[in-house]
Structures are given as structure tokens and as C-alpha cells.
């Protein structure tokens, strides 16, 4: 099939924009829990997984569209007293059992102001389905999709159980993946696999993508009997690039014996002992840890502004 010069140029420009920073495709690390290979050529999401709920246009508006005015320079710290456990407060739910994400929320000043409810989403089934439907889905869209689906599943649970009949909830979902030249490194299944992953990361540059999704569930209006449908306030992916130093076999074996790698994607924790391996990082440290603090602060601040 032939194409015109300008058609080819537009195609190349789109692909370049989609895979900015891409270092080339590669095989998925062969493990029982490996996520499917995600080739970088298309960032479109499968229709079956596009959220059926309306999105707030404040965060993705068409040119000239009229939207509520928000203070984009504001951070969550100035609105912290709006989130809490009192009846009049906005209730924040973390749809994750990750201790790192809880730690980051606590560091933001939200300790005691949120509850943890792991998402009921069957994540493994979703990963398999995504692999069947969209073998060309790029990693950034992949992790954002997982974050959205985690938060949406929790939001739908709230609605179905009637827990949002009198209160407003924010549901936060997130997902983090380690991307080594197109290979997605998940949590290791055993110490041998952890050693193999660290060997691959040794002396190399890799990317860490963290997807974030914030849903809102509001109480029913006076003339309605059921709560409003969940609204996807915003979803996005933040990326950081991490350069590992060259690790000796003794370094790798000693680190694996500490047990720290066993519950972490890529078999290392940057906030722990594994931080010794990092020569440099480009981007937000907290992206690698599991939740981008700065962008999340702005997102939640804007979401609270929309409630005014």
C-alpha cells in the first residue's frame, strides 16, 4: 500500500509523540506473572475499556470550550482541611494495599484522613484481556488503564452498596510498572527470578511509569433516589528514568537475601536498600516509589476546587 509524502510524515510525527523516550521494543521478562509485551506504536485505548462515565473537562478541554475556572497553581496543602473523616468532609479512599502508596499519602499530610480499600478488580484477568485486545498498547496507556479500572471498580462498589448516599468520595487508583527497553518487569516469583531481573537492570537505564486515576462519587441530588454515577476527574501517567550502577554478583545476592525485592516491581525499592543502586534519576522520585506526590497534589486541589 502506497501513501503520500505528507501522510507518511503525519504518521511518523504521531508515532514519535506517542513513544517519546522509547528505547525500542523487547520481550517480556519470562515469568509466571509477567505482564504482556506492550509495543510502542499505538497509545489508543481499547473501546471495551474506555470509561463509560463522563470526564471532567477542566483537565482535557477542547479549544474554546467553556469550563469552570480553577486555580491551577494551587496545591493540596492549602485545602487539606477539606479531606477527612468528619461527616462534612470529602472522603478519600485509596484503592490499593501498597504500603508505599500509604506512606506517600501520609507524607503529604493525609495521615488519618483517608481509608484503604483494595480494589475488587481482577487485575490479572484485565491484563490478559488487554493483551488480547490491544497488543500494541503502549506502556504509559497500559498503566493508566489499570489505574482507572482499579479506581472505577472501587467506585462502583461504593455505589452498589449505597455508601455514597450522603457523602462525597474521592477514589484514588494507581499502578506502577518497570519498563526495560520494552520488557515489563513485575514482582519476582522467587529469589532466582529477582537475581535475574537485577542482573538485567545492572548498568542500564530504565523507565518507571506510574498511572494515576481519581474518581468522584457524589450523593444523590434532592430529586433523585440513587447516587450520581462515578465521574473520572482525571487520569494520567507520570514517568521517571532511572540509571542503575553496575552491580556485582555479590551485591545482587546480598540484596536479594534481605527480602526487600520480593514485593516490588523490578525487584528493587528505591526508597530502601535498593536506593544504593541508583546513580541518577530524571523525574519525580515518588513516581518510582509508587505515587507522584506533586502532580497528585495539584490534581486533588483542582478536584476540590470543582466542588466549590
- Using alpha carbons, select from 140, 129, 111, 128 the residue that is nearest to residue 240: 140
Report how far apart, in Å, the C-alpha atoms of 297 and of each of 107, 143, 294 are: 12, 20, 5
Under DSSP, is residue 164 helix (H, G, I), strand (E, B) or coil? coil
Give the Cβ contact number of residue 198 at 10 Å: 25
Q: Which of 81, 89, 106, 175 is catalytic?
A: 175
Grid cell listed for 127: 491484563
175 is catalytic: yes
Q: What is the DSSP letter of 199?
A: H
DSSP assignment of 69-99 equals: ---TT--GGGGGGGBSSSTTSBEEEE----H
Which has the closest alpha carbon to 307: 235, 231, 236, 223? Answer: 231
- Which neighbouring-strand residues pair with 173? 213
- Residues 6 or more apart whose Cβ sits within 8 Å of residue 103: 271, 289
Return the residue matching grid coordinates 487539606: 80
Whole-number Å distance between alpha carbons of 175 and 18: 20
Active-site positions? 175
Amino acid at each position: 500500500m502506497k501513501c503520500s509524502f505528507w501522510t507518511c510524515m503525519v504518521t511518523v510525527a504521531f508515532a514519535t509523540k506517542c513513544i517519546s523516550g522509547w528505547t525500542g521494543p523487547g520481550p517480556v521478562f519470562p515469568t509466571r506473572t509477567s505482564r504482556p509485551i506492550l509495543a510502542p506504536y499505538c497509545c489508543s485505548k481499547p473501546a471495551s475499556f474506555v470509561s463509560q462515565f463522563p470526564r471532567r473537562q477542566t483537565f482535557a478541554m477542547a479549544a474554546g470550550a467553556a469550563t469552570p475556572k480553577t486555580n491551577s497553581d494551587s496545591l493540596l496543602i492549602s485545602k487539606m482541611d477539606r479531606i477527612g473523616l468528619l461527616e462534612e468532609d470529602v472522603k478519600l479512599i485509596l484503592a490499593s494495599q501498597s504500603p508505599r502508596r500509604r506512606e506517600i499519602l501520609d507524607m503529604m499530610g493525609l495521615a488519618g484522613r483517608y481509608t484503604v480499600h483494595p480494589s475488587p478488580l481482577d487485575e490479572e484477568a484485565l491484563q490478559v484481556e488487554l493483551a488480547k485486545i490491544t497488543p500494541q498498547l503502549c506502556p504509559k496507556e497500559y498503566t493508566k488503564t489499570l489505574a482507572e479500572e482499579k479506581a472505577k471498580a472501587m467506585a462502583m462498589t461504593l455505589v452498589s452498596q449505597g455508601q455514597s448516599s450522603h457523602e462525597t468520595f474521592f477514589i484514588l487508583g494507581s499502578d506502577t510498572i518497570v519498563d526495560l527497553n520494552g520488557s515489563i518487569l513485575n514482582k519476582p516469583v522467587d529469589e532466582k527470578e529477582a537475581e535475574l531481573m537485577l542482573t538485567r537492570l545492572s548498568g542500564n537505564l530504565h523507565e518507571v511509569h506510574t498511572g494515576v486515576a481519581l474518581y468522584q462519587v457524589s450523593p444523590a441530588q434532592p430529586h433523585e433516589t440513587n447516587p450520581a454515577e462515578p465521574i473520572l476527574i482525571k487520569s494520567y501517567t507520570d514517568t521517571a528514568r532511572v540509571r542503575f550502577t553496575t552491580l556485582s554478583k555479590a551485591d545482587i545476592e546480598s540484596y536479594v537475601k534481605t527480602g526487600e525485592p520480593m514485593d516490588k516491581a523490578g525487584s528493587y525499592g528505591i526508597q530502601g536498600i535498593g536506593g544504593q543502586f541508583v546513580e541518577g534519576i530524571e523525574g519525580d522520585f515518588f513516581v518510582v516509589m509508587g505515587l507522584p506526590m506533586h502532580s497528585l497534589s495539584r490534581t486533588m486541589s483542582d478536584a476540590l476546587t470543582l466542588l466549590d
